[in-house]
Copies of this chain bind each other. A is one copy, B any other.
Amino acid sequence: MTLMPSTLDDTPAPLQAPAKRTTNSDRSMSSFFRPRTVAVIGASEKPGGVGRALLENLGTFHGTLYPVNGQRDTVLGKKAYRNIASVPTRVDLAVIATPAATVPGIIRECVQAGVGAAIVISAGFKESGATGTELEHQILEAIKGTSLRVIGPNCLGVMGPHVNLNATFSKDMARTGNVAFLTQSGALGTAIIDWSLKEKVGFSAFVSIGSMLDIGWGDLIRHLGEDPQTHSIMIYMESVGDAPAFLAAVREVAPVKPIVVIKVGRTDAAAKAAASHTGALTGSDEVLDAAFNRAGVIRVATIEEFFSMAKVLAKQPLPRGPRLSIVTNAGGPGVLATDMLVECGAQLATLSPETLAELNKVLPAHWSHGNPIDILGDADAARYAAAVAVAAKDPGADGVLVILTPQAMTDPIATADLMRTYAKMDGKPLLTSWMGGTRAKTGRSILNEAGIPMFDYPDEAARAFSNMWRYSQSRLPHPVLAPEGKPGPEAQEPETEKVTELIHSIRQRKGTLLTEYESKQVLSAYGIPTVETRLAASQIDAVAAAESIGFPVVLKLHSDTITHKTDVGGVRLNIRDASEVRGAWDAIEGAVRAKHGPGHFQGVTVQPMVMLKGCELILGSSLDPQFGPVLLFGAGGVLVEVFKDRALGLPPLDAYLARRLMEQTKIFKVLKGVRGRSSVDMAALDQILVRFSRLVAEQRWIKEIDINPLLASPERILALDARIVLHGPEVREEDIPELAATL
C-alpha cells in the first residue's frame, strides 16, 4: 500500500454541502464573550437570588453594567433601569433572570433595543411541560430574522475571563487562559471551575449551554474555532442536538484545535438517567462513536480523563510523535505508566546512543540504562534536572514524563523548581507526577503554577500523553490510497439515473421492499459485483437460463411480497440438470401456493452455484435519526450477531476511509491473508465500499440496505445476496435525515 499526502487535486469533490442551518452573526457571537456593555434583566437584591448573584459576579466586569429592574430605581446601590429600552447606550449582552413567562416579551424588547446577544438563565421552559414549550416557541418567533442570538434557557451563564466577565450565578471566576469549556451541566461546570482554580488551568470562555433553544454546539465550536485566544475546546455533552451542525463545525475546527468531548449516557441505564433530567434523547452510542471518530473529536470516558486533557492542552504543546521518555526515581511507577502508555496506543521512546552516553555521564552506574530512565531511589533534584535535560534533547523522544516518589533523599520542592526550565519545550510536552499525599504538596503547587501539568498517578499522565498523540495523529494530512499492484475495477461512473428510475417505479407502485433481483440491479449499477442472476417467469425460461449460465445452478423464489425466501422453501441449491430445474420450479411454486396463494409467486431467479471459498462479509447501511445513514462493515454469515465483529462509519467514504473502517474489524486480518492464505484484492474491496457509500449517499429513498454475504476470496469479490428497503409513502423527502459527513 502506498500512502501519498493528500493534495487539492486528489480530493474528490464533496457529494453534498454540509447543512448550515444558522447564520453566524459575528457581532452577536462575540457579544457573548467580549461585550462592552452588559444589562442584567431581573437584577435584584434578594439574598440568595440569581438576580443578585449575577449583579455581584459581574461587579468586576471590565465594561459597563446596567441593572434592569421593573420596580426599582437602584439595586445594590447602582442605578437601575425599568427596561432595556431605557438603558442609555446600546447593550451588547443582556443576561435575563426573570420568570419564564416574562422572557418572550423581554426578548422582543431586546430585539427592538438592538441588543447584540442574550443569555436566558431562567428555567421553566420545555423541561416543565407544554406551557414552557410554548414560551420557547415565542422566543424563537421573536428572534427570527433578527441578528439577536440566544444562549439558554435554563443555564448557569457565560464567562469571558479575558474581559473579566462572569455572567453566571456561580461565584468563582475562571482564570484567564486558552481553553474554551462548553458544558450541558451547570453543576459540572462549577465543579470544573473550582478544580481549575486549584490546578491553575485557565479558560478563554466558559459556556453553560442550557437547552440549546437557539445557540447550539455548532455555533459555539465554529466561533471559538476562529477565536485566537482559544487553543482547545472541551465539551461536557449530554445530547448532541443538531448533529449535522455539530459535525460540520467540528470538521472545520478539529484540524486546527483539539476538541475533547465527554459524552455521558454510554450505558442504557445512564441514558435513561440523562433523559429523565434534561428531557434529552440519546441515540446509539456506537453511532456517536463513529461520528466522533470521523470528525476528529477526542472522546474520553471519565471525568478524570477529561480534567487531564484540559490540563495538558491548557499548559503544554502537542507532541509530534508517539514516543515518550519517562524519568523516574522508582521502577514500579515507571512500569505502570508504560503499561497504560502502550495500551492507549503510544510508545516508549528508544534512547539514542548519544543519549545513553550522556546519561551514563550524569547518572550513577546502576541507572536503568534504558527507558523508563530509572535514576534510582536516592536521586536528588540536580540528578533529576540532569536526566530530564538529556532525555528532552533526544530527537527520538516526543515528550517527557517525570515521576517522583517521596523517598528518603527525595526533595520534591527543589526538584519541582528545577523542572520549570523545561516548562516550555518546543513541540515536546512535559508531564509530571509527584506521587503521594502531603509530602509532595508544595512541589505540586510549584509545577501547577509553572504551567507544568501535574498528575496524581503516573499512569494517568501516560494516558493523557497518548490522547494528545491521538489528536496530533488525527491532524496529519489525510493520505490518498494508491491501489496496490494491479488496479481495482475501472473507476466507472455509476448509473445513477437507472437506479433513481428503478426506485421511482417501485415507489410508484407503493412498494418498499426490492426483490433480490432488483437489489442486485441496484448494486450492479453502482459497480458492485453481484452473482449473475436471471429472472425466469416460466419453467421453460428457467431451464434456458440455467443452461446458458451452466450447471450447477441455484433457483430462488422471485416474489414481490415474500421477504424470507428460505422460510417457504424458496431456495434450491446445487441443481445439476434441466429436469432438476423443473423439479425445483414445481417445488417452489407448490410451496408458495400452499402457504401464501398464487399471487405471491412471480417466477424464480436462476444463479450459478458459487463454489468459491472465502470470507463472508456484511456491508450494510441504515438510518440514524441524528446522523443520517450509517455504514456497517464486518464479518457476515449466520454468526454475524454472535461475534459482532463490525465497525460503523459515516458515508461518504474514499479509499482511505474505507480501509480505516475495515481495519477496525477482526475479519480484516483474514482478508489480508492469514496462515498462508492469499490476500483478498484489497484495492478492489476499498472501491466496493466507496461505491456502496456513494449509493447510500445519493439514493436518499433507501432506508436500509444489506449485502449479506459479500463473499471475498483471493479470486473474486461478489455480492451473493442483497436486501434493500425503501422509505414508505408516508415519509416526506424533507424528513429523511441528511448525510452528516462529507469527504
Contacts and interface: CB of A to CB of B under 8 A. Distances in A.
A405 B188 contact: yes
Contacts of A53: 408
A194 B440 contact: yes
Interface string A673-684: 011000000000
Contact of A459 (B185, B302, B338, B666): B302
Contacts of A277: 331, 334-335, 368, 374
Interface in A445-488: 456-460
Contacts of A493: none
A574 to B, nearest CB: 13
A187 B267 contact: no
Contact of A274 (B186, B335, B409, B641): B335
A437 interface: yes
Given A408-B171, A438-B197, A674 B642 contact: yes
Q: Which of A196, A277, A439, A641 counts the most B-chain CB atoms under 10 A from its CB?
A: A277
A547 to B, nearest CB: 27
A329 interface: yes
Nearest to A192: B436
Contacts of A266: 339, 343
A191 B436 contact: yes
Contacts of A245: none
A219 interface: no
A338 B269 CA distance: 7
A187 B457 contact: no
Nearest to A405: B187
A17 B194 CA distance: 58
Interface in A187-209: 187-188, 190-199
A537 interface: no
A265 B332 contact: no
Contacts of A644: 666
A731 interface: no
A405 B339 contact: no
A438 B270 contact: no
A264 B185 contact: no
B335 A264 contact: yes
A270 B269 CA distance: 33
A302 B343 contact: no
Copy number in the complex reads 2
A439 B172 contact: yes
Nearest to A332: B185
B264 A332 contact: yes
Contacts of A587: none
A333 B191 contact: yes
Nearest to A127: B366
A275 B273 CA distance: 47
B273 A458 contact: no
A195 B642 contact: no
Contacts of A334: 273, 277
Interface in A360-386: 368-372, 374, 377
A645 interface: yes
A195 B436 contact: yes
Contact of A331 (B273, B437, B645): B273
Contacts of A436: 190-195
A473 to B, nearest CB: 19
A91 interface: no
Contacts of A342: 267-270
A169 B198 CA distance: 33
Contacts of A264: 332, 335-336, 339
A372 B276 CA distance: 10
A330 B332 CA distance: 38
Contact of A278 (B186, B199, B262, B331): B331
Contacts of A199: 437
A372 B273 contact: yes
Interface string A488-509: 0000000000000000000000
A211 interface: no
Nearest to A340: B302
A13 interface: no
Contacts of A186: 330, 377, 407
Contact of A191 (B273, B368, B435): B435
B304 A304 contact: yes
A270 B187 contact: no
Given A269-B347, A335-B274, A336-B302, A437 B643 contact: no
B302 A187 contact: no
A188 B265 CA distance: 35
A276 B370 contact: yes
A339 B642 contact: no
A236 interface: yes
B642 A460 contact: no
A267 to B, nearest CB: 4
A238 interface: yes
A303 B457 contact: yes
B438 A198 contact: yes
A267 B342 CA distance: 7
A170 interface: yes
Contacts of A48: 408-409
A669 interface: yes
A382 to B, nearest CB: 15
A121 to B, nearest CB: 12
B190 A407 contact: yes
B435 A236 contact: no
A267 B190 contact: no
Given A304-B457, A338-B269, A407-B187, A435 B332 contact: no
3 closest A-B pairs (Cβ-Cβ)? A187-B330, A198-B437, A185-B332
8 contacts: A53-B408, A191-B406, A197-B437, A238-B331, A267-B343, A273-B334, A273-B348, A304-B457
Given A265-B339, A302-B459, 20 more contacts: A170-B407, A184-B332, A185-B332, A187-B330, A188-B330, A188-B332, A191-B405, A191-B406, A193-B436, A194-B439, A194-B440, A270-B339, A273-B331, A278-B331, A302-B336, A639-B670, A642-B666, A642-B667, A643-B643, A644-B666
